[in-house]
Amino acid sequence: MTDTMAETTDETAIQMGEIQNSLGFLLRVAQIQTFERFFESLGSYGLKPGEFTVLWVIGLNPGMRQGTIARHLSIKPAHMTKLVGRLIKQGFVAREQHTEDRRAVRISLTEQGRDFVAENKGAFLMQNAHERNQLSPEEMETLIGLLQKLTGRDTHAS
């Protein structure tokens, strides 16, 4: 599962240098791994992490504008359109015209969407369960806190 030490070709003596400590590099690898884990639990439904996140937030904010949700999730408008389109096609989300501002689009979950979120909430949040990775609960907490701070998403940001 982890790096196969058995494979002892001379080629494996690779030098990585400071890249090993590069934030960008580590974030990339971490995300790849997280992505893979996600598919182990939710992949069977053909849903991607981003899609589940959107579903989740729509569920918490029914009737909100899709643009607002996109902005808060750092999703680009163009991408949001397609994302919502997919979710609608799957029957999880419904669009409704904003009555006051007819440019705006309100979105909310369908019954099916609510059920889906409720069912898979656990699996999704399991991502940071320490059983699934190398970190202790405290370490995971620290990591998440630091990432929140790094991204300016900690609740008590300056």
Q: Which of residues 22-81 bind a second copy (CB under 8 A)?
A: 22-35, 38, 49-50, 53, 56-57, 60-65, 68-69, 71-72, 74
One of 76, 121, 149, 153 touching DNA (CB under 7 A): 76
Q: Which does 112 bind (CB under 5 to 8 A by kind): a second copy, DNA, none?
A: none
User: Smallest distance, Å, CB 104 to DNA?
Assistant: 4
Q: How far apart are CA 151 and CA 127, in angstroms?
A: 19
3 binds a second copy (CB under 8 A): yes
User: Smallest distance, Å, CB 2 to a second copy?
Assistant: 5
Beta bridge partners of 94: 108
Size of the site for a second copy (CB under 8 A): 74
Q: How far apart are CA 105 and CA 122, in angstroms?
A: 29
Neighbours of 154 (CB within 10 A): 14
One of 43, 50, 91, 145 touching DNA (CB under 7 A): 50
**Which residue lies nearer to a second copy by CB, 97 or 151?**
151
Residues that bind DNA (CB under 7 A): 32, 48, 50, 65-68, 70, 75-86, 95, 98, 100-105
